[in-house]
Amino acid sequence: METVADFLAALRRGTLSARAAVDLALQRIAAADPALQAFLAVRADEARAQAARIDEQRAQGQDVGPLAGLPFGVKDVICERDHECTCCSKILKGYRPPYNATVIERLRAAGAIPIGRLNMDEFAMGSSTEHSAFQQTRNPWDTTCIPGGSSGGSAAAVAARMVPMTLGSDTGGSIRQPAALCGVTGLKPTYGRVSRYGLVAYASSLDQIGPLALSAEDVALVLPHLAGHDPQDTTSAALPVPDYCAGLSGDIRGLRVGVPKEYFVAGLDPEVRHAVQAAIARLSALGARVEEVSLPHTEYAIATYYVVATAEASSNLARYDGIHYGARAADTRNLLEVYTHTRRQFFGDEVIRRIMLGTYVLSAGYYDAYYLKALQVRTLIKRDFDAAFENVDVLVTPTSPTPAFKLGARTADPLQMYLADIFTVSVNLAGIPGLSIPCGFSEKGLPIGLQLLAKPFDEATLLKVGHAYQCATDYHTRRPANCTDLFDEETKE
């Protein structure tokens, strides 16, 4: 019992109760999480109570929802009513939102059961989950390595089979990169496909909520219950939500696959290059038509992203001032010291770095030179994708330039950390959907991810291609060794 599909099938057959599903997840969390530190908080009693209600309703023949009894974890940047939401920052320690995010409301309405909060980089600013103010999540495949970020807890929890599905957020790769490094499947939907209401903002024009699970099929099962127009989010699109499972035929014959030459450059790890090229060959063998394409402004993506994202972060994080809510520094003598001491004392170094950069590029004399120029380049990047999708259905790239790196290896070099997102940030700048799926392993046994990209609101094609690839390979089914040991113990019992 591992995947969303496994859980839902057993729940519907009646061979697994909602209470048993929750207990199974709690047992796995208790066994695996002490070594991985993916969860910040686990709500056993509340989850069991919700499961008991679902079982009672099911026994009475009531409609319990299509995801009834499915346990899931929530990244600590998504609001849940009356549950602490810190964004893994000391400045929000103790903050309990008075409302649920729309995605939480929709999943609960479908019967899914939130079981706990997941670790992340502070305010989603990071690529390794080393910038959490509270704990360091480790990669289930090698606990001396990072799980990726900022949704590192979300990816690790799925990879270790603690829960079949988690929610993450993606501003520049924060779902796809940890999914790749932890060997799971992660989707960044089109900007506007999923409501951002209740998502604590990092960069509002880039942020998007999405699911992480073991397979494209699992994502297809969950996505309809996340997607759709929300009047509380003015950026959400009023478009119909397809039946994503209907397209999972396994047949991609004749589908046009583009390979951007700019993503296979010097600096790409040879093992990643080999695994991705092998995956492209597999798609060709499945009947897809593969051709090289060009996205000529790719080289400007990192610089553009770190101007746009930090500018928006500087504006969004101005609300944490020691007055409205959150922490407040003691022993301040005037209003200026309330602001400066609070922010210096309770923000982490990476958050401060990005606020300073964003404030600089928005300042008088630099706005036109940096921020306005970045917006213009962002338009060019989007046009590159628009042109490519006139000739192909899907683009295929590496997700991350390397497998997972060692804990502490890049914390002293922010630029090297930022370059971990070199293949993912363009997707957010253009607002298109991106899916990362496992496509191999390094010699050291670390997962490698394949990124699939499609035109706006065409998540169905991404999931169709991802599913076809996963029907022909087994990378997404492989478990970290410690999880295999755990499952062996469950079998014995």
Question: Residue 432 falls within a domain, yes or no?
Answer: no
Range of the domain at 190: 4-252+440-447+456-492
Residue among 130, 122, 152 nearest 343 (CA): 122
What DSSP string runs through 222-254? Answer: HGGGTBS--TT-TTS---PPP-GGGG--S--TT
Question: Residue 261 falls within a domain, yes or no?
Answer: no
Q: What is the domain-level CATH number for residue 128?
A: 3.90.1300.10
Question: Residue 326 falls within a domain, yes or no?
Answer: no
The pLDDT tens digits for 254-285 are 999 999 999 998 889 999 999 999 999 999 99
Question: Residue 70 falls within a domain, yes or no?
Answer: yes
Helices (H), 138-205: 152-159, 176-182
Total domains, the chain: 1
Question: Residue 420 falls within a domain, yes or no?
Answer: no
What pLDDT sits at residue 70?
A: 98
Question: Residue 54 falls within a domain, yes or no?
Answer: yes
Helix axes 44-59, 18-36, angle to 10 degrees: 160
What pLDDT sits at residue 416?
A: 83
| More confident of the two residues 419 and 36 | 36
Q: How many Å apart are CA 462 and CA 390, to the nearest integer?
A: 16
Question: Residue 150 falls within a domain, yes or no?
Answer: yes
Question: Residue 394 falls within a domain, yes or no?
Answer: no
Q: What number is the average pLDDT over the span 111-119?
A: 98
Cα torsion angle, 66, 71, 73, 74, sign? positive
Q: Which residues participate in catalysis according to the annotation?
A: 75, 150, 174
* Residue 488 predicted with pLDDT over 70: no
Q: How many Å apart are CA 187 and CA 219, to the nearest integer?
A: 7
CA geometry: angle at 248 spanning 242 and 250, to 5°? 155
Mean pLDDT computed over every residue of the chain: 95
pLDDT band with cut points at 50, 70 and 90 for residue 418: confident
The pLDDT tens digits for 186-218 are 999 999 999 999 999 999 999 999 999 999 999
* Residue 491 predicted with pLDDT over 70: no
Tell me the CB-side half-sphere exposure of residue 444, using CA atoms within 13 A.
15
What pLDDT sits at residue 430?
A: 97
* Residue 412 predicted with pLDDT over 90: no
pTM: 0.94
Written as six digits, the tokens of 244 are: 């994503």
